[in-house]
Structure 1
Amino acid sequence: MPRATCGRPRDPSEIFRSSSPLELFFDLIFAVSVSLASAQLVDAEIHANVASGLVAYLMVFFAVWWAWMNFTWFAGAFDADDWLYRVLVLTQMAGVVILAVGTTPAMAAGDFHLIIVGYVVMRLALVVQWIRASRSNAGLRKTALRYAVGIAVVQVFWVCYPLAPADWALPVFLLLVACELLVPVIAERAGQTPWHPEHIADRYGSFTLIVLGESVLASTAAAANAVENASQLLQFSLLGVGAFILVAGLWWVYFSSDASVWLRRRRAPMVFGYGHYFVFAAAGAFSAGVKVLLDHEAGSSGLSSATAVATLSIPVSVFLLGVWLLILRLCLRGAYKWLFPVGALLVGCAPLLAQLTPTAEADVQIAVVSVLGAAAVMVLLVVLIEASGVRERAEPAGAPAAG
């Protein structure tokens, strides 16, 4: 199928619509920002600054996720792939690099200047993209102009954000986040952009793999530490096994159902798109939790065993609940529909096991036992999905007829 030209919309019923090489390149640039944000979260959690570190992580992650999401949905509708489109996308990538550099000062010292510079560069490049789209299609001109004006206005307030008093920094940030989220809601009322269900599902699946890849890297680090620390071989080995089972389970759960089917039938793109903030952020926090547990087992963390386990198990629980709410809730049937969230909550309760397990009789550290318990629940959830037959059904439960 031919691509759009000069910002004209693409056919939403186009066949074989997968991620383009430029989109995949864009994802890899964003992976750097996710990795750096996760690393800073690890540093905060190791030094027992869990609450403040988590708040800073969620703030930085919003900038990463929102910029990625806006590009993804725009490219899904107006991917012209001409020279100007590529230059503008590469400009957005340059903004991502600036944002990635600003991740460390933002999370370590609360200095968001570089983050804002990178973010505004990305957003202004997108404004130009929307202006191009408005000039190329009369039917979507009003929608495109609403996007362009809305994004541009919000960027003015972001530039002023560093001037906010320290006590008002978080409330002002949340207000600006609300403004960003409202731009698509208001713009789409003038006419829905032609998003492609299979393409959107493919793009979100690709980003899920990127954030889960961070967790695989952390699990591999556990195995490497096991080899280097013979005195703690059993602890590190079991921790690596438990972490890998968890990340494999997250992958299994997320890709157990075709999200494009629900997107095509339900037509609720904003619920799917916005809800993934929690899924992606949880995946990134999970990889940080694995590294925190490594340091805890090595004795270089001041956290309690329960808190160290919570940095891993709670993100896993949030990820599972997010996927259930966005996708699986519409696909699972009968008792399976409600057993899954119960299991997800049990994973989040793993820190309780760390408090109940006696240290004197245990051959391994309490934290490792708790992680293995969470991994066992994850295995049960995978068995539940397979027993439900959800991967064998093409349509979500209760999906309305097309047309």
Structure 2
Amino acid sequence: MTTTSRFRLVPMRPRDPDEAGRTASTLELFFDLVFVVAVSIAAVQLHHALTEGHALDGIANYAIVFFGIWWAWMNFTWFATSFDTDDWLYRVLTIVQMGGVLVLASGIQPVFEDHDFSVLIIAYVVMRLALVAQWFRASRSAGSSHRATLIYAGGISLVQALWLASLLLSGSMFLAALVALVAAELAVPIVAERTGTTPSHPHHITERYGLFTLIVLGESLLSSANAIIRALHDREDLSSLIGVASLALIATAALWWIYFWPPHHHAISSFGRSLAYGYGHYFVFAAAGAFSVGIEVEIDVLTGHSELHQPWASFAYTIPLAVFVLGIWALAIRPQADRIVNVALPLSGVLVLIDSLTSVPFALTALILAAAVAVLVWRRPVDRAGLTDGIRPSDD
């Protein structure tokens, strides 16, 4: 039985990392909804930048904005796996973070259009300080994790003060501060976990990452639907747009299949692997979000509404696809795959990248990804004892 205080608060003790049946809560799913808004706006702004021919500037802004989105999501996710009490104060502080995400989303457009980071940074700080309150609360009942919770709270607070101070800078000084503060944000968990660990539930964590992957892949399905809508209003490019919509669906389904092929909880069996898995997903998530942009760019090229031309327009979706495939292969598939899969997956990532130079890049991309999925259907992940469990036609 869980004890509560006279304020109806549950002591924020560390959760059992071996808790049976641990799954994502409805609050966590609700929390993810606001990130749909932020990811969608970031994708729209990147789309505008690429279509207008400002590729390098757009990609740089997208990388910065997506870091803020991803880092806020990831920090809440790892905190929740350790200290989720689901009482009223925990819920209120989580909803405050959700409000910060919505304000952050409203600050994305000024970043792309005017390089104005004011709203973005202020909203980001609000989110982070709400999490600081959670860390301080957790420190009261954290037991062996007490020191780690205080380092998290103190480290995050210090970095947020520096973020606010960075608003006083301009030009190259601000850019240098931006890079330094991103590095500082990434360093806080490393320092905290090396001085006093917090528990994490492997199945719960990897389920949360899988759910966020579905969110960003959903943007690609929306782009596929947009292609069909455009086709209904543009009879001249009807077949091409329907083709893009169909192939976008095939590619998105292939990314889903590849991502969920291995059991991800084996990928976070140690602190070092958990760090690589958690931080490496920045590239996986960002690539999934950017893939939807690439589809939209291809639609604009077909309808004559883009400054980009081939093969550069094709790179707008082949680069994200390659990053996604190679990233998830390195983070979760490689240690659990046999030699055949460990050749086929990275090869497919490289082939997707270079097929932009062909005359039918999207069709070839879909075929390559379909072939990669066929290999995964044929093979199975290596079990924990290191013995292959690959399926061959004669096994069934």
TM-score interval for Structure 1 and Structure 2 normalised by the shorter chain: over 0.9
User: Is residue 387 of structure 2 the alignment partner of residue 395 of structure 1?
Assistant: no
Q: What letter matches 1:262 in structure 2?
A: A
Contact 1:261/1:394 (CA < 8 Å) preserved in 2? Answer: no
Shift, 1:138, TM fit:
2.9
Q: Which residue of 2 aligns with 1:197?
A: 202
The partner residue of 1:383 within 374, 378, 381 is 374
Q: What letter matches 2:375 in structure 1?
A: L
Question: Where does 1:2-401 land on structure 2 (aligned, <5 Å)?
Answer: 5-264=10-269, 268-353=273-358, 357=359, 369-390=360-381, 394-395=383-384, 397=386
Q: 1:267 & 1:259 partners in 2: Cα distance?
A: 15
Q: What letter matches 1:345 in structure 2?
A: V
Q: 1:351 & 1:152 partners in 2: Cα distance?
A: 45
Shift, 1:396, TM fit:
7.8
Q: Which residue of 1 aligns with 2:391?
A: none
Q: 1:395 & 1:215 partners in 2: Cα distance?
A: 34
Q: 2:369 & 2:210 partners in 1: Cα distance?
A: 20
Deviates more, 1:277-286 or 1:189-198: 189-198
Shift, 1:336, TM fit:
2.3
Contact 1:261/1:396 (CA < 8 Å) preserved in 2? Answer: no
Q: 1:81 & 1:338 partners in 2: Cα distance?
A: 44
Deviates more, 1:338-347 or 1:320-329: 338-347
Q: Deviations 1:280-312 (Å, cap 9, x if unpaired)?
A: 000011011111111111001011111111001
With over 3 angstroms needed to count, the CA separation of the structure-2 counterparts of 1:97 and 1:266, relative to structure 1, is closer
SS of alignment partner, residue 43 of structure 1: helix
Q: Deviations 1:101-128 (Å, cap 9, x if unpaired)?
A: 1111112211111111110000001111
Q: What letter matches 1:93 in structure 2?
A: M
Contact 2:142/2:149 (CA < 8 Å) preserved in 1? Answer: no
Query: RMSD across aligned C-alpha pairs, in angstroms?
Result: 1.8
Shift, 1:395, TM fit:
3.3
Contact 2:267/2:277 (CA < 8 Å) preserved in 1? Answer: no
Q: 1:82 & 1:246 partners in 2: Cα distance?
A: 41
Shift, 1:265, TM fit:
7.0
Shift, 1:397, TM fit:
4.4
Deviates more, 1:62-71 or 1:137-146: 137-146
Shift, 1:266, TM fit:
7.9
Q: Deviations 1:241-262 (Å, cap 9, x if unpaired)?
A: 1111111100000011110133
Q: 1:58 & 1:137 partners in 2: Cα distance?
A: 35
SS of alignment partner, residue 107 of structure 2: helix
Shift, 1:385, TM fit:
1.2
Q: What letter matches 2:190 in structure 1?
A: V
Deviates more, 1:259-268 or 1:170-179: 259-268
SS of alignment partner, residue 140 of structure 2: helix
Contact 2:267/2:274 (CA < 8 Å) preserved in 1? Answer: no
Q: 1:230 & 1:340 partners in 2: Cα distance?
A: 38
Q: 2:166 & 2:301 partners in 1: Cα distance?
A: 37
Q: 1:258 & 1:344 partners in 2: Cα distance?
A: 21
Q: 1:342 & 1:396 partners in 2: Cα distance?
A: 27
Shift, 1:394, TM fit:
4.6
Contact 1:331/1:396 (CA < 8 Å) preserved in 2? Answer: no
Shift, 1:339, TM fit:
2.4
Contact 1:314/1:348 (CA < 8 Å) preserved in 2? Answer: yes
Contact 1:347/1:377 (CA < 8 Å) preserved in 2? Answer: yes
Q: 2:102 & 2:237 partners in 1: Cα distance?
A: 38
Q: 2:336 & 2:274 partners in 1: Cα distance?
A: 17
Q: 1:294 & 1:160 partners in 2: Cα distance?
A: 42
